[in-house]
Structure 1
């Protein structure tokens, strides 16, 4: 009689487990394939034709969301379309091209392509991009964008606004489900999106303009009062702002803290005075430094040489040497 395989029973016992493993592997492969395909998780209306729609002042014709899961990058480089496209950068950075020149806009940014413009933009996995987009058209789009100040350029710096997400998701839902009056509702939602974006951009522009005026006042105080003892605290009190807010706003705008900016200003003023007949002590006093020793230390750290060395170096450079026939060397200032 043929002897039974001692491993046969074990194999039979483990077979259901192997079967389960195979199912899991198949599911993972399918899920991975889905992740690869869901780079552009978008929703379109019944037609992808980009012909203008003259039945509505403005209407969204297709809408979606770009999210990278596995691919290193994603690039759109389409032929010229007859409709508009608006992209909202919820997270990450989008790199776009206008007349073959590359630009970029980060989270909170809005990008608008006009009809007959080449759509060329890309984003990368390393930036963790999350981009909403919508194609729209209508018989009054130009006027609407003009009234909302959205037609002057391609990119606008907005805000990371949850309200945008809600409107985009509603547009996607309407175009996907195609229920009664979905075209009318998508038109209303597109108007709401444009007006909301315009309101946020105008608010940011107003705040930015207001901040510019405040910072100009700070610079004016620095330039007229640098010989005196001044601080950002005293300036903030004079302008009725908190010193922390003013310091943060100043640093963000100029890339230097108010103290560092004022020190640099005083050093530049001192460099001019050192070429005069003033003593180093007088230069220190006239540029707002408390004493000569402190001035020398700060100046040396900034310029790499002492005030005396700076004076000697530049005074020597300002003289021209001439030699007489008898060999005498005469120095004269240029």
Structure 2
């Protein structure tokens, strides 16, 4: 069995330390090699939080009295005082990384990131999680200068990345091959060019209706609305920081007709381009 771990506090019952906003007590990596089964039982839990990430295989976790087989790409969170039971079985090839942590802002940081309660959170397979916890283990083992605040920063990053991935699980159903993310990048790079959504969808070998539907589910906007928002934001930047006139700005963001640009800008922003320039420059002149 691989049992690679590093410790700040070594007490098996955990530690409740409020000196830091978040504090990593220990971190580790479990992987069965020949041992058929390994169990952890803590009827009264620990004083700190525990976050486990199933990198490969599966593990049996008991949550609120029910046993769940949790597979690759999931996080499991236990709060202080929660009864803990989990079981590794060799046949399931489990490969798990874990962190015990505490701190005066731990509950707030977890809540803000969407970890509202103890339970199972789907994130998908993410190599970043493995790397972050490996970094924590190494810092806690070697204990070089400033190792503790660095380890704690890794923990904050882990929480935020976890929140990003499990909150995007719903989006993934609408972008299973990554074509929406590619479109977003393309639109940001090519907003100044004439972009026809139908032609763009055709290049992806999908129907324009399906592309528009998936894009809106993912971003909350249609492709055309999204492109227009990019253009209007770029126009605002140029109106504030450049000496370009409306005609030059219109052309630089993809509109051949400056009158059409001015009309769209006023409909979107609420004032004409020239009025916006006057207002924004006046505002920053006195701040």
- Verify same fold: TM over 0.5: yes
Quote the offset at 1:153 in angstroms. 4.6
Residue in 1 that maps onto 2:32: 68
Could you list the per-position Cα deviations for residues 40-93 of structure 1 after superposition, in whole angstroms to 9, with x for gaps in the alignment?
A: 332323533512111111121100001001111111102421100000000011
- Structure 2 distance, partners of 1:56, 1:154, is 25
Deviation at 1:205, TM superposition (A): 2.8
Give the CA deviation at 1:166. 1.1
Q: Distance in 2 between matches of 1:201 and 1:127?
A: 23
User: 62, 65, 68: which one pairs with 1:103?
Assistant: 68
Q: CA deviation at 1:141?
A: 0.9
- Scaled by the length of structure 2, the TM-score of the pair is 0.59
Residue in structure 1 matched with residue 5 of structure 2 by the alignment: 42
Q: Which runs of 5+ in 2 are unaligned?
A: 177-205, 215-287
Q: Which residue of the partner structure matches residue 205 of structure 1?
A: 170
Equivalent residue, structure 1, for 2:264: none
Relative distance call for 1:53 and 1:70 in structure 2 (3 A) is: same
Taking only aligned residues, the RMSD between alpha carbons, in angstroms, comes to 2.3
Q: CA deviation at 1:167?
A: 0.5
Mapped contact 1:95–1:103 kept (Cα < 8 A) = yes
Structure 1 residues 179 and 91, CA, compared in 2 at 3 Å: closer, same or farther?
Answer: same
- Aligned with residue 149 of structure 2, among 180, 184, 208: 184
CA drift of 1:143 comes to 0.8
Cα distance in 1 between the residues matched to 2:153 and 2:137: 13
Q: Which has the higher contact order (CA 8 A, sep 6+)?
A: 2
Deviations 1:184-242 (A, max 9, x none): 1111111011011111111213334889xxxxxxxxxxxxxxxxxxxxxxxx7373359
CA shift, 1:98, in A, is 2.2
- 2:18 maps to 1:54: yes
Post-superposition, which runs of at least 4 consecutive aligned residues in structure 1 deviate over 2 A? Answer: 38-49, 205-211, 236-242
| Map of 1:239 onto structure 2 | 209
Q: Is 1:143 aligned to 2:113, yes or no? A: no
Aligned equivalents of 2:60, 2:49: Cα separation in 1: 18
Using the alignment, how far apart are the partners of 1:179 and 1:77 within structure 2?
A: 33
Q: How many residues align?
A: 182
Once residues 140 and 54 of structure 1 are traced to their aligned partners in structure 2, the CA distance between those partners, rounded to angstroms, is 8
Per the alignment, residue 159 of structure 2 pairs with 194
Matched-pair contact (CA < 8 Å) for 2:79–2:118? no
What TM-score does the superposition give when structure 1 sets the normalisation length? 0.51
Q: Which residue matches 1:6?
A: none
Matched, 1:119 2:89: no
